[in-house]
Amino acid sequence: MIKAVIFDLDGVIIDTAHYHYIAWKRLASEFGITLTPAHNELLKGVSRMHSLDIILSLGNIELPLEQREQLAEKKNSWFIEYIESIRPEEIFPGVVELIMNLRAKNIRVGLASSSKNAPRVIELLGIATQFDTLIDGTMITRSKPDPEIFLLAAHKLGVGPSDCLVFEDAEAGVEAALAAGMKCVGVGSKDQLGKANLIIKNTGDFNIQSINTI
Ligand code: BG6
Ligand code: MG
């Protein structure tokens, strides 16, 4: 029996994954690197510094830590600019209803995002009170695909890993959920998320009646 559902944020609840992409693309172009959607799949769910290292490795560029930290900060300042205009209406269709329906079934609901900006995004969306626990990138030491973030969320929710179902749009996130011993719904395409127990196109497509048969 699923006792808790843990949602990723970027790309599962709102299309902030797009803002991460355009900010990284802008930074990559400064190094003559053309970031493609295929490259971007490698960045989803991955921490800011690790994402930067992946991008620099595409151009065989090696830089000292101090300079990499400045670049990561630059990308983040653009991302923050982009997200400031997001509004609750931009939450993906059906997500608020899904969370309400889960809560009505006494299923606990958590958020587990690798993003250090997750608290700001959740604040802008006005949905903080919908979650029993909120885990963000400031609370973990190892980013997805490490299972740390989901194990911490389960612990905070007071349930075991096998009682949890995770919603993820990132390959690294699906791997993290499975490594945690949880079931995982992949939101997106089979090409990237083939390891997930179920794949749906949009978060709002999930049929809550099927929750214990995944
Ligand atoms: C994840 C995103 O949610 O957060 C990644 O999928 C992003 O693309 C990561 O790099 C870290 O985000 P932030 O906001 O801390 O730079
Ligand atoms: Mg995501």
The verdict on 8 and 51 lying in the same domain is no
The verdict on 52 and 102 lying in the same domain is no
* pLDDT score for 23: 98
The verdict on 139 and 96 lying in the same domain is yes
The verdict on 8 and 38 lying in the same domain is no
User: Which domain covers residue 70, as residue numbers?
Assistant: 17-83
Write the CATH number for 182: 3.40.50.1000
Letter string b/e over residues 165-182, b meaning 16 or more CB atoms within 10 A of that residue's CB: bbbbbbbbbbbbbbbbeb
Contact between residue 109 and residue 134 where contact means Cβ atoms under 8 Å apart: no
Return phi, psi of residue 47, to 5°: -65, 165
Between 65-83 and 118-125, two packed helices, what is the crossing angle to 10 degrees? 0
* pLDDT score for 91: 98
Which ligand has its closest atom nearest to the C-alpha of 35?
A: 1
For the chain, what's the residue count? 214
The verdict on 98 and 74 lying in the same domain is no
Ligand 1 atom showing the smallest separation from residue 11 Cα? 6
The verdict on 96 and 117 lying in the same domain is yes
Report the C-alpha gap between 46 and 118 in whole angstroms. Answer: 14
The verdict on 101 and 30 lying in the same domain is no
The verdict on 68 and 110 lying in the same domain is no
* pLDDT score for 39: 96
* pLDDT score for 126: 97
* pLDDT score for 27: 98
Which residue's C-alpha comes closest to atom 13 of ligand 1?
115
Ligand 1 atom showing the smallest separation from residue 72 Cα? 16
- Give me the tens of pLDDT residue by residue for the chain, a chain 214 residues long: 999 999 999 999 999 999 999 999 999 999 999 999 999 999 999 999 999 999 999 999 999 999 999 999 999 999 999 999 999 999 999 999 999 999 999 999 999 999 999 999 999 999 999 999 999 999 999 999 999 999 999 999 999 999 999 999 999 999 999 999 999 999 999 999 999 999 999 999 999 999 999 9
Which residue's C-alpha comes closest to atom 6 of ligand 1?
45
Check if 46 has its Cβ closer than 6 Å to any atom of ligand 1: yes
The verdict on 64 and 98 lying in the same domain is no
pTM of the model: 0.97
The verdict on 53 and 95 lying in the same domain is no
Which residue's C-alpha comes closest to atom 11 of ligand 1?
115
